[in-house]
């Protein structure tokens, strides 16, 4: 347990240090980096835009000795944003939707491969060239039921669902930003009645909501390495001041949630793009069952209840996609 936390902390320090060093290096060679946030917007500006992409994959075989099953998979990704700015006030709203499905033609089973519904809104007031005071709200869940091995229900809409509300200060540059809040509320929901009688997602049995209070930090970094190669990363950390007693293993346990995402976009043509996406999630309150050597029979603790453990979650996907982007107006007002 301790080793996992040390690994995560070291990884985050290296990540943050690397970004800071890279920005310093780029600042000495690229004039665009030293441009600061414009705090003198004289007229109100609304900007509406977004992007979408759809990815297809297909496998087909007949009498194929090496094995395999015919299948088709489809994934859609959508992003819509609405931004407002006037004088020193700004308001940013972003909606992200991901959904993927695979169809096995032999078993006639549809398997979900991706599912994400996330909305972020950030209202702020500029207090300097690069500093602003802001209120951040983040809502995240999935849209449909999730299963393990197509049989064990693991999630559903708003089970879990997360709502983060923060008041803090942000430092923002052209390519990167840093937001920190000492007081943040994290509300976890489990509205599916099938999860009601058990402890799951930090929500006690017999309850549907858990409210945590802690500190929140968000680091975002975007960079166009080449006109056709774009890097977009995000690191979010939440430390809960209130430990969960029925999950706490020892006095050194830290209730630290980690959410890291990295996306590489490679533009092949105006409509065709290759995307490499990776994500790492660690949430001490998301528990995984511990099984016997057969991988089926659950292990039982001294209290006779099934044992659970925490895990670092990792996800990666790569695909070729058809993409479309739009922005209204096309040029921002200065």
Q: Tell me if 255 is assigned to some domain.
A: yes
- Alpha-carbon Rg for the chain in angstroms: 22
Task: Report which of 174, 173, 169 is spatially closest to residue 127, judged by C-alpha positions.
Answer: 169
pLDDT score at 299: 78
Q: Tell me if 185 is assigned to some domain.
A: yes
Q: Tell me if 334 is assigned to some domain.
A: no
Q: Tell me if 169 is assigned to some domain.
A: yes
129 pLDDT band (50/70/90 cuts)? confident
pLDDT score at 28: 38
pLDDT score at 41: 47
pLDDT score at 132: 95
Count of other CB atoms within 10 angstroms of residue 14:
10
Can you say how many angstroms the Cα of residue 302 is from the centroid of all Cα atoms in its chain? Answer: 36
pLDDT 10s digits, 92-122: 999 999 999 999 888 888 889 999 999 999 9
pLDDT 10s digits, 202-229: 888 889 999 999 999 999 999 999 999 9
16 pLDDT band (50/70/90 cuts)? very low
Average pLDDT along the chain? 81
Task: Report which of 201, 112, 108, 101 is spatially closest to residue 149, judged by C-alpha positions.
Answer: 112
Instruction: Determine contact, residues 148/186, Cβ cutoff 8 Å.
Output: no
Q: Tell me if 6 is assigned to some domain.
A: yes
Instruction: Determine contact, residues 262/230, Cβ cutoff 8 Å.
Output: no
Give the residue, 285 or 48, on which the prediction is more confident. Answer: 48
Count of other CB atoms within 10 angstroms of residue 253:
16
pLDDT 10s digits, 178-189: 999 999 999 999
* pTM value > 0.85: no
pLDDT 10s digits, 148-180: 877 888 899 999 999 999 999 999 998 999 999
Place of tokens 């020193």: 88
Write the CA distances from 182 to 15, 121, 202, integer angstroms.
21, 19, 21
Measure the CA–CA gap between 84 and 86, rounded to whole angstroms: 7
Cα angle 248-239-14, degrees, rounded to a multiple of 5: 110
Token readout for 46 is 């609304």
The domain containing residue 246 runs over which residues? 2-328
pLDDT score at 143: 95
Mind spelling out the 3-state secondary structure of 127-187?
CCCCEEEEEEEEEEECCCCEEECCCEEEEECCECEEEEEEEEEEEECCCEEEEEEEEEEEE
**Distant-in-sequence, close-in-space partners of 128: CB < 8 Å, separation ≥ 6:** 39
Number of domains in the chain: 1
Q: Is the pLDDT of residue 38 over 60?
A: no
**DSSP letters along 76-141, please?**
EEEEEEEEEEEETEEEEEEEEEEEEEEEETTTTEEEEEEEEEEEEEEEEEE-SSSEEEEEEEEEEE
């Amino acid at each position: 347990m301790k080793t996992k936390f040390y690994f995560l902390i070291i990884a985050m320090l290296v990540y943050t240090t690397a970004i800071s060093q890279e920005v310093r290096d780029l600042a000495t060679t690229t004039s665009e980096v030293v441009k600061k946030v414009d705090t003198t917007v004289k007229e109100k500006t609304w900007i509406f835009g977004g992007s979408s992409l759809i990815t297809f994959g297909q496998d087909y075989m007949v009498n194929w000795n090496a094995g395999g099953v015919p299948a088709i998979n489809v994934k859609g990704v959508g992003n819509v944003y609405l931004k407002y700015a006037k004088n020193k006030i700004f308001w940013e709203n972003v909606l992200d939707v991901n959904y993927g499905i695979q169809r096995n033609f032999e078993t006639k089973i549809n398997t979900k491969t991706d599912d994400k519904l996330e909305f972020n809104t950030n209202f702020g007031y500029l207090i300097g060239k690069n500093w602003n005071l802001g209120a951040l709200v983040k809502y995240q869940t999935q849209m449909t039921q999730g299963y393990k091995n197509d049989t064990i229900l693991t999630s559903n809409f708003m089970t879990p669902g997360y709502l983060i509300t923060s008041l803090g200060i942000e430092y923002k540059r052209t390519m990167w930003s840093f937001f920190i809040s000492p007081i943040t509320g994290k509300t976890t929901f489990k509205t599916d009645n099938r999860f009601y009688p058990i402890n799951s997602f930090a929500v006690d049995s017999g309850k549907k909501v858990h409210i945590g209070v802690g500190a929140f930090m968000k680091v975002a970094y975007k960079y166009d390495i080449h006109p056709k190669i774009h890097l977009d990363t995000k690191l979010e950390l939440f430390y809960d001041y209130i430990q969960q007693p029925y999950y706490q293993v020892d006095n050194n346990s830290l209730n630290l949630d980690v959410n890291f995402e990295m996306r590489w976009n490679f533009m092949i043509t105006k409509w065709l793009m290759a995307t490499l996406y990776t994500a790492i999630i660690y949430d001490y309150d998301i528990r995984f069952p511990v099984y016997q050597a057969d991988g089926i029979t659950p292990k039982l603790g001294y209290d006779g209840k099934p044992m659970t453990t925490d895990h670092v979650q990792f996800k990666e996907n790569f695909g070729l996609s058809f993409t479309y982007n739009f922005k209204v107006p096309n040029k921002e007002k200065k």
